[in-house]
Every structure is written in structure tokens, then in C-alpha cells.
Amino acid sequence: MSEELTTRASGPAPIDSFRAALRDGEALHTFARNAIQRFANRPPQSFPQLSDLLDTLLPSEVTASASVARAVGMDAKELIALREGSIDPLRASRTALAALWQALRLEAGVFHALVLADHNRFAGQLVGGLATRGGRETDAEAWASLESAYQSLLLDAPDSMEESNKL
């Protein structure tokens, strides 16, 4: 009977998917709580760039880091690349990057400065803006897209910022 609940021809049982999502949410909550604690000793604006902040804050265990990635809707490899500073953050999934921003509870100016520091390292590699599926995107359009994704997250959970401060 229990095998019937956990194994189906069409994929995992709904309860297994729920449990996995719950584990991922708990990993994100732990990440956010640890960030708040670390920011008490080292403010986020003291990090030179987003990749340095992520390298300090993300769990070192691959499975825990992958859980954080899944919780924000990002591929684990993309989060690793952000952590390593090997991709331009403005080329990452905007919704996932906005979810990381929300989890870290950073002020817009601080988050933008961290992202910009990583982004500027890649600016010389791109001419005419960021490559996108539909052509080229200017930096201004990329920032607007990221800000829009962040605002959408806030609209989806308007008291999430207030509630998350109670961690």
C-alpha cells in the first residue's frame, strides 16, 4: 500500500512532491535566517559583490544549496555559477534572482550594488546589451525586468517582508 502512495507510473506521488517542496522551503528559511544572523556581524554592503555574499551565505553542502536553488525556482547549476561569479547575475533567471533578493531581505540599493559589481565584470564581454532569446536587452531593461519580478513577488505575498523579519 505505501508503495502505491510513493510510486506512480506518471511520476512521484503528490505527497512526495509536497515533502520535497517543504524540505526546499525549510532550506530557504534556514538560508534566510542565517543571513540575518550574519548580517548582524557583517553588513551586506560590506561584501564586494553578490558572488562573495552568496559564497559566504549559501550552505556548503551541495544538497542544501540545491534545495535553496529549487525553493527560489533556479537551476542548481545556475546558483553555483552565481556563487562562483562565473555568470552575469543579470543573465540569471530574473524571478529566481528576485526571490533570492527577497529571501535575503536586502534594501534595493544594496542588492543593486552587489549585482552591479558582478555584472560590471562581464560588461566588457557583451556589446550592445545582454543577449536574450529574442535579441539584445539593454542593462536598463534587465534592471527593470529584475525590479518587476521583485515587485511581483511582493504582490504575491504582501506581508512576506514583515513576517520574514520575525525569523
Q: pLDDT of 39-89, one tens digit each?
A: 999 999 999 999 999 999 999 999 999 999 999 999 999 999 999 999 999
Domain span including residue 59: 2-164
**pLDDT at residue 127 in the model:** 46
> What pLDDT, in 10s, does the model give residues 100-113?
999 999 999 999 99
Question: pTM higher than 0.85 for the full model?
Answer: no
Count of other CB atoms within 10 angstroms of residue 60: 7
* Among 95, 82, 90, CA closest to 56: 82
* Among 164, 87, 147, CA closest to 74: 87
**pLDDT at residue 12 in the model:** 79
The total number of structural domains in the chain stands at 1
Q: Which range, 2-11, 95-104, 140-149, has the best average confidence (pLDDT)?
A: 95-104
* Among 36, 55, 133, 62, CA closest to 94: 133
Decide if 75 contacts 69 (C-beta within 8 A).
Answer: yes
Q: What share of the chain is helix, strand, coil (3-state, %, to 5)?
A: 70, 5, 25
